[in-house]
């Protein structure tokens, strides 16, 4: 028996950030930059107006006020998108739109709200200070500025900035492609009503959805029978398109545990009992020339989900160039009593709620490793250390959120 | 001038949850159920073994112990997936795998770890209690149970439960399809280095990415010139495939503000100044027979992003059947001084960090509504009420997270 931490450490020391690829900017959403990005341009790219109004020499309007307005000729109209090089003489003005280039010589903008909005002449009822409502070229980003570091995750605002400096393609760490294989003679395809002795392959769908929710790219292989030759052929074929493989089922103590039977003969795979409940039988290793990481999870649905959260998700995040953990643990006060196994870390399915400035945690129904109903009703895993055998109402419990925390009712 | 709350209220009172559609279960990930789901089956579907081991009559092993083991004949082998109806006589055992159906008459499982693992006979070194390691049919979900309510968001664990009870298609609220139209003669397509007077359409990419990050479905139309006829034709064509339309640019006080010029003639649209900084010029209304909500956002990138967060995102969530807000506000202690405009809510771009059990907030560089660099560096908006004109280090500030909160360094 090994500890959760031992198994996790072996996994995170084995997996590696994927080699970089070049993607169109919009296709790179959610990926992590695999290079530093330095801007070659200035932002703003040219001196421009921050308001709709009139470009002026501030010194021409020193005495302008509501009671003593001043009038200037309007010699030109500058829309946004103008690429004309213009020059403003003293005593004159040009009508200008937000974002349009400032004419040479102008040093301030009078907002249209402080004028009569005139077209051939404009009457101004307020003085302006030099630089007012003017955006200087490069005041946001200067050419040569490091605007984003290797490892930055590309979200909408990062994509906007990269686009603004003229980026078309970016070099990023790709999203891991993850093959999901369910094994078991009892399995039937989703969308079918199970008969006696049959179980729907809910694990396959759950893991595909979990891979996608993690912003990785899943491929579902479907149900593979408990037959060594078929399983061996399937996994070999799938290694070609996978950055990682997840299997469920076939890793326990049974006579038909095909995954373990086939893969335990491969020197690069290892099968262990991990001191946790649920999720004790775990296998991990690498397969093939490319040393693709393979996670063999138990077949019970709750065990599979807990194993995914505890072992697979951290590995996939690291492969994607992200942090191993992205969700902070939450400490909550138990409102129920429950027991935990001696010598094993318990991952109990719980309901975590906001209560004032703190949180409460309640047990989420039947705790068997087959209990999908209570798994679906839970929004967190309570992590009970191996040396704790009972939780009492009032105890502090560390929880790993699986979804949004409920508001106190 | 209207308040932020007035504009938001008008929006959320106008938009409606989209009509339901039927989707394949896996395609419905992230959608919200548009019906209650009652299980027609039991989970487990049949009485089965929770362990690899031997099905027995517990009464046959009352005296079994490590020092005085008992031996039973093994009369059958039951793999998972077996659909054979079997019956176990007293004094006999059957080898059974996890998940395999219990034979009629058997009332307990001896785990293989408590036996010699024999194939024709098995020697058992521990007694068992009735029901031990047996999963009763329906103990997780009984036929007729309401397993998931209308409005439940379908995440991996919910998809697993729906699959397990035999669901193929689900009736859900679809993800809103959102058309993004950027307007402005100064705009050039992303991937191009901007020349004098030109600006890359970073807004289009940012909003498409923001729609996608919200788990809605974006369509980017690209840059439309400041020309009334073109804009009118574009928006009319796009209404056909849209559940909502977002435009940027052309809503200010300028002479070439085409969006406002075209849409302010439509009685169902309304243009307002909203008491906020940035993001003052806002338009909202419905267009076409289907009364498609149209959001006309300002063209400055920071204004566009803030407007999306404050007005568009809540509306899209409601249309998707979700909660108006999904991210809790965070109260943080300011570590900087900054000023805020009188009479307007300020949405300042800030860096929010965890600090012990609390949070700190620092201003994120240049605050102009064109400052994409500091927007990309921010991870939250500080929301400064209209009657506050300055923030001082030590003040409590309410923040709306835009991304992961930083760990204290």
**CB atoms B209 and A97 under 8 Å:** no
Contacts of B255 in chain A (CB under 8 A): 52, 77, 79, 95, 97
- pLDDT score, position A256: 75
* 3 state SS for chain B: CECHHHHHHHHHHHCCCCCCEEEEHHHHCCCEECCCEECCCCECCCCEECCCEEEECHHHHCCCCCCCCEEEEEEEEECCCCCCCCECCCCCEEEECCCCECCECCCEEEEHHHECCCCCEEEECCCCCCCCCEECCCCCECCCCEEECCCCECCHHHHHHHHHCCCCEEEEECCCEEEEEEECCCEECCCCCCCCCCEECHHHHHHHHHHHHCCCEEEEEEEECCCHHHHHHHHHHHHHHCCEEEEECCCCCCCCCHHHHHHCCCCCEEEEEECEECCCEEEEEEECCCCEEEEEECCCHHHHHHHHHHHHHHHHHHHCCCCCCCCCCEEEEECCCEECCCCCEEEEEEEEEEECCEEEEEECCCCCCCCHHHHHHCCEEEEECCCCCEECCCCEEEEEECCCCECCC
The span from the first CA to the last CA of chain B, in angstroms, equals 42
Mean pLDDT of A286-303: 96
Any A CB within 8 A of B101 CB: yes
**Band of pLDDT at residue B21, cut at 50, 70 and 90:** very high
Any B CB within 8 A of A239 CB: no
Rounded mean pLDDT of chain B? 94
Any B CB within 8 A of A144 CB: no
Burial class (CB in 10 A: 0-12, 13-18, 19+), A35: middle
Any B CB within 8 A of A233 CB: no
Contacts of A378 in chain B (CB under 8 A): 157
Q: Give yes or no for a contact between A54 and A74, defined as CB atoms under 8 angstroms apart.
A: yes
pLDDT in tens, A3-59: 999 999 999 999 999 999 999 999 999 999 999 999 999 999 999 999 999 999 999
- pLDDT score, position B193: 85
Whether B344 shows a pLDDT value over 60: the answer reads yes
pLDDT in tens, A109-148: 999 999 999 999 999 999 999 999 999 999 999 999 999 9
Whether A344 shows a pLDDT value over 80: the answer reads yes
Indicate the DSSP class of residue A267: T
**CB atoms A212 and B148 under 8 Å:** no
**CB atoms A157 and B368 under 8 Å:** no
Any B CB within 8 A of A371 CB: yes
Mean pLDDT of B132-151: 96
Residue of A37, A219, A254, A328 best to disrupt the B interface, most CBs of B under 10 A: A254
**Band of pLDDT at residue A193, cut at 50, 70 and 90:** confident
Residue A31 three-state SS: coil
Structure tokens at B176: 């809103």
Mean pLDDT of A351-361: 91
Nearest Cβ partner for A29 among B165, B212, B372: B212
Any A CB within 8 A of B44 CB: yes
- pLDDT score, position B111: 95
Nearest residue on chain B to A134, judged by CA atoms? Answer: B368
pTM of the model: 0.94
pLDDT in tens, A269-289: 999 999 999 999 999 999 999
Residue of B104, B116, B202, B301 best to disrupt the A interface, most CBs of A under 10 A: B202
Whether A373 shows a pLDDT value over 60: the answer reads yes
Q: How far is A205 from chain B (nearest CA, A)?
A: 6
Contacts of B160 in chain A (CB under 8 A): 202-203, 205-206, 209, 301, 305, 372, 375-376
ipTM: 0.94
- pLDDT score, position A408: 60
Whether A403 shows a pLDDT value over 90: the answer reads no
**CB atoms A209 and B112 under 8 Å:** no
**Band of pLDDT at residue A2, cut at 50, 70 and 90:** very high
Cα A301-A322-B180 angle, rounded to 5 deg: 95
Mean pLDDT of B334-352: 97
Nearest Cβ partner for A155 among B98, B255, B403: B403
Nearest residue on chain A to B250, judged by CA atoms? Answer: A98
Contacts of B189 in chain A (CB under 8 A): none
Residue of A22, A46, A53, A80 best to disrupt the B interface, most CBs of B under 10 A: A80
Least confident of A95-104, B252-261, B334-343: B252-261
Whether A100 shows a pLDDT value over 80: the answer reads yes
Any A CB within 8 A of B203 CB: yes
- Structural domains in chain A, CATH included, are 4-18+175-319 (3.40.980.10), 30-43+144-173 (3.90.105.10), 48-135 (2.170.190.11), 330-401 (2.40.340.10)
Any A CB within 8 A of B396 CB: no
pLDDT in tens, B52-61: 999 999 999 9
Nearest Cβ partner for A166 among B29, B112, B192: B192
Contacts of A300 in chain B (CB under 8 A): 98-99
Q: Which helix (H) or strand (E) holds A161?
A: helix A156-164
Radius of gyration of chain A (CA): 31
**CB atoms A157 and B354 under 8 Å:** no
- pLDDT score, position B327: 85
pLDDT in tens, A43-94: 999 999 999 999 999 999 999 999 999 999 999 999 888 888 899 999 999 9
Any A CB within 8 A of B394 CB: no
Mean pLDDT of B384-404: 96
Q: Chain B, 268-287: which have a CB under 8 Å from a chain A CB?
A: none
Nearest Cβ partner for B209 among A45, A159, A305: A159
pLDDT in tens, B196-222: 889 999 999 999 999 999 999 999 999
**CB atoms A98 and B252 under 8 Å:** yes
- pLDDT score, position B408: 60
Nearest residue on chain A to B113, judged by CA atoms? Answer: A253
Q: Give yes or no for a contact between B116 and B123, defined as CB atoms under 8 angstroms apart.
A: yes
**CB atoms B82 and A402 under 8 Å:** no
Q: Chain A, 47-76: which have a CB under 8 Å from a chain B CB?
A: 50, 52
Q: Give yes or no for a contact between A346 and A384, defined as CB atoms under 8 angstroms apart.
A: yes
Mean pLDDT of B128-143: 96
* CA B123/CA B72 separation, integer angstroms: 7
- pLDDT score, position A260: 93
Q: How far is B24 from chain A (nearest CA, A)?
A: 9
* CA B305/CA A157 separation, integer angstroms: 8
Q: Chain A, 284-323: which have a CB under 8 Å from a chain B CB?
A: 299-301, 305
**CB atoms B99 and A195 under 8 Å:** no
* CA B200/CA B67 separation, integer angstroms: 82
Q: Percentage of residues in chain B with pLDDT exceeding 90?
A: 87
**Band of pLDDT at residue B250, cut at 50, 70 and 90:** confident
Q: How far is A289 from chain B (nearest CA, A)?
A: 32
Q: How far is B324 from chain A (nearest CA, A)?
A: 14
Q: How far is B46 from chain A (nearest CA, A)?
A: 6
Q: Give yes or no for a contact between A100 and B197, defined as CB atoms under 8 angstroms apart.
A: yes
Whether A257 shows a pLDDT value over 90: the answer reads no
Cα B315-B317-B321 angle, rounded to 5 deg: 115
**Band of pLDDT at residue A355, cut at 50, 70 and 90:** confident
**CB atoms A163 and B112 under 8 Å:** no
């Amino acid at each position: 028996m090994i500890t959760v931490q031992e198994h996790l450490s072996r996994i995170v020391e084995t997996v590696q950030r994927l080699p970089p690829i070049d993607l169109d900017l919009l296709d790179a959403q959610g990926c992590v930059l695999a290079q530093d990005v330095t801007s070659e341009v200035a932002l703003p790219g040219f001196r421009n107006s921050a308001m709709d109004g009139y470009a002026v020499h501030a010194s021409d309007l020193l005495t302008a006020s509501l009671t003593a307005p001043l009038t200037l000729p309007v010699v030109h109209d500058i829309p946004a998108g103008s690429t004309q090089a213009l020059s403003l003489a003293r005593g004159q003005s040009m009508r200008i739109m937000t974002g349009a280039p400032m004419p040479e010589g102008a040093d301030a903008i009078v907002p249209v709200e402080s004028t009569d909005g005139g077209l051939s002449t404009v009457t101004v009822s307020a003085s302006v200070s030099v630089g007012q409502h003017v955006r200087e070229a490069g005041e946001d980003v200067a050419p040569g500025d490091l605007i984003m570091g290797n490892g930055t995750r590309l979200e909408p605002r990062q994509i906007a900035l990269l686009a603004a400096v003229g980026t078309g393609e970016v070099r990023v760490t790709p999203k891991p492609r993850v093959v999901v294989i369910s094994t078991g003679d009892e399995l039937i395809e989703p969308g079918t009503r199970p008969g006696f002795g049959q179980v729907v392959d809910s694990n396959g769908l759950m893991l595909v959805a979990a891979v996608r929710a993690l912003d990785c790219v899943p491929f579902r292989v479907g149900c593979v029978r408990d037959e060594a030759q078929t399983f061996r052929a399937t996994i070999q074929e799938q290694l070609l398109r996978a950055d990682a493989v997840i299997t469920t089922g076939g890793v326990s103590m049974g006579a038909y545990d095909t995954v373990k039977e086939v893969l335990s003969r491969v020197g690069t795979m290892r099968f262990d009992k991990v001191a946790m409940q649920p999720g004790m039988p775990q296998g991990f290793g690498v397969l093939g020339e490319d040393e693709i990481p393979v996670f063999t999870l138990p077949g019970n649905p709750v065990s599979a989900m807990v194993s995914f959260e505890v072992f697979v998700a951290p590995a996939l995040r690291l492969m994607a160039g992200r942090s191993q953990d992205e969700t902070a643990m939450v400490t909550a006060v138990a409102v129920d009593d429950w027991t935990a196994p001696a010598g094993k870390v318990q991952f109990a399915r719980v309901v975590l709620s906001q209560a004032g400035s703190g949180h409460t945690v309640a047990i989420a129904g039947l705790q068997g490793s087959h209990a999908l109903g209570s798994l679906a009703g839970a929004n967190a895993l309570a992590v009970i250390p191996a040396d704790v055998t009972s939780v009492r109402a009032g105890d502090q419990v560390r929880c790993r959120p699986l979804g949004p925390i409920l508001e106190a009712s």
